[in-house]
């Protein structure tokens, strides 16, 4: 399952995978996703610039107005569907800090 998640992330572009003590972070200019392997699933979170209310995110931690951690759980590679890939792309753009560029250009 980790390989399927990492492959979907790499489809977005260059990314640095950072193994940490309790998780594996995915980083461009900033970390935008992290996962923790568990025996039966992967736990993880995305960083989004907006809040996305969806049952696939059972918990959302708002850090600041443009920084929301959306927690998820992957039970199988099939969970990485087109909707989930869209979220990976959105989080990747946050990792590139594109949401901050939008603020400076408006």
Residue 79 has which token pair?
A: 């969970």
The C-alpha angle 64, 27, 48, rounded to 5 degrees, equals 30
**Can you tell me which residue has the tokens 């610039």?**
49
CB under 8 A, 24+ apart: contacts of 16-20: none
Whole-structure pTM over 0.75, yes or no?
A: yes
Rounded CA-CA distance 59/17 in Å is: 24
Q: Per residue in 66-98, pLDDT tens? A: 899 999 999 999 999 999 999 999 999 999 997
List the end-to-end C-alpha distance of the chain, in Å, as a whole number: 40
């Amino acid at each position: 399952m980790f390989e399927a998640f990492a492959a979907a992330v790499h489809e977005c572009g260059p990314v640095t995978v950072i193994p940490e003590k309790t998780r594996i972070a995915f980083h461009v200019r900033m970390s935008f996703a992290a996962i923790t392997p568990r025996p039966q699933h992967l736990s993880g979170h995305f960083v989004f610039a907006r809040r996305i209310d969806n049952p696939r995110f059972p918990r959302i931690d708002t850090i600041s107005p443009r920084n929301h951690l959306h927690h998820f759980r992957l039970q199988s590679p099939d969970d990485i569907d087109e909707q989930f890939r869209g979220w990976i792309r959105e989080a990747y753009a946050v990792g590139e800090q594109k949401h901050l560029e939008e603020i400076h250009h408006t």
